[in-house]
Structure 1
Amino acid sequence: MKAEQVKAPRWEDIVFEYRNKAYGAYFIRKSYSKHVVLGWLLTILTIGLLVASPYIVEFLTPEEVVDDKPAKTVRYTDLQPPPPIQNTPPPPQVNIPPPVKTIIKYLPPKVTDKEIVEEEPMPTVEEIKKVETGSEDIVGTGEVVFDEPVEEVVQEAEDPNQVFAVVEQMPEPEGGMQAAMAWIGKNIKYPSAARRMGVEGTVFVGFVVDADGKIADVKTVKGISAECDKEAERVIKMMPPWKPGKQNGKAVRVKFVLPVRFKLAT
């Protein structure tokens, strides 16, 4: 055998020499070069078609026939005259008559046989200054006469348990309101639960100042928490007696509302 007749082995034959060539990988590797060449040819053909497509479309499209007719010149004298302007007369005015007014016929005076009462002459200014005027002329005798006995005015007994909202002299703590607020700030204790939760605000406590100045009927009007409300009520109940409120010079029970503020130290 000559050396020219001996073919050099391909690289896929060397890789799959002692392997199963019936497996699909050997066939794919063997036909890889053909597929690459075929892919390049299809790519070049596609690009060529895309580039040549405008020329192909222009070649296949028939040319439009242009009718070159000379432009027609229109002169002003060739136009028809405009239509005449018609002067339309305005509509006739309609005279609307004014509304008819109701007129009452004049009635002549009637003559009767009844006596006409002459009116009393008016008093002069000087007469009015001397005496008081009235609907009738009354001459006084100078005596005062009581036709009916005058009933004795009996004052109703006041209810000692009545609670007033506003009186002539409102109740006041001993030493004034500033002393009372200082006493509350000294005796109040901030609840531990409210301190941990950071609860702050003002509790409005309502109570009644009795006629002897003692605090009674303590109740929270507007609160911020259960612990702070109870502490505010406790402090108000412990307050010393106040100066009672007075109505008509008598000590009475008066309703009062006092704010108690809770604020954490920063």
Structure 2
Amino acid sequence: MELKKNPKADLSKRSGLFFVIGLAVVMLVVWQALEYKKYDKVKQYDTSMDVDDLLDEEVPMTEQIKTPPPPPPPAAPEVIEIVEDEEEVEETVIESTETSQEEEVIEVEDVAVEEEFEDVEVPFSVIEDVPVFPGCEKESDKKKCFNSMMQKHIRKHFRYPEIAQEMGIQGRVSVMFTIQKDGSIGNVRMRGPDKNLEKEAARIISKLPKMTPGKQRGRAVKVPFAIPITFKLQ
């Protein structure tokens, strides 16, 4: 049986080449489509609004203001007139302070010079006459009685602050105060572990009665005193 087709006319032999050529053409078209750019039309604008050139102009520097020179000093007079001093100056006469034998000497009586007594503070431990706590007037050892009465006063008015109890705060508060010259209590200072304990110590000291002031060389003086108050939980 004879073949109807010419073997030279067989197109299947070059189908691979045609496929590669077609693929290359498609890739070229796709690349051109991706790279295609469209630009807007350039609009005409008024060049008179361009102020860039104006900003580039150099600004002239201001001239330095020159101050006028000071006026020349007045010319000195050609002739100097000499004015005579007609005023008379009284001479100071220094008289001798020495007394002559003829003058009577007046005797001056002895002038009592009042001794100045400085307002000083004398510590409780060295003062001559200690302050007298009410109730110790008849005691021979007033210093010992003073300390004993202070302890009684503290125990009588002592109250443990509730907030300190709840927080478990305890410790010693050092209290310092001054017995004034009139027997009153002043200049109270405290130092302790807690403000509530210090406040209670100040309240106890404020309850102190008025005392007989301490004396040094027979004069009332200020007497500083310090005592610890211990707050201890049971």
Q: How high is the TM-score relative to the length of structure 1?
A: 0.39
Structure with the greater alpha carbon radius of gyration: 1
Structure with higher RCO (Cα < 8 A, 6+ apart): 2
Q: How high is the TM-score relative to the length of structure 2?
A: 0.44
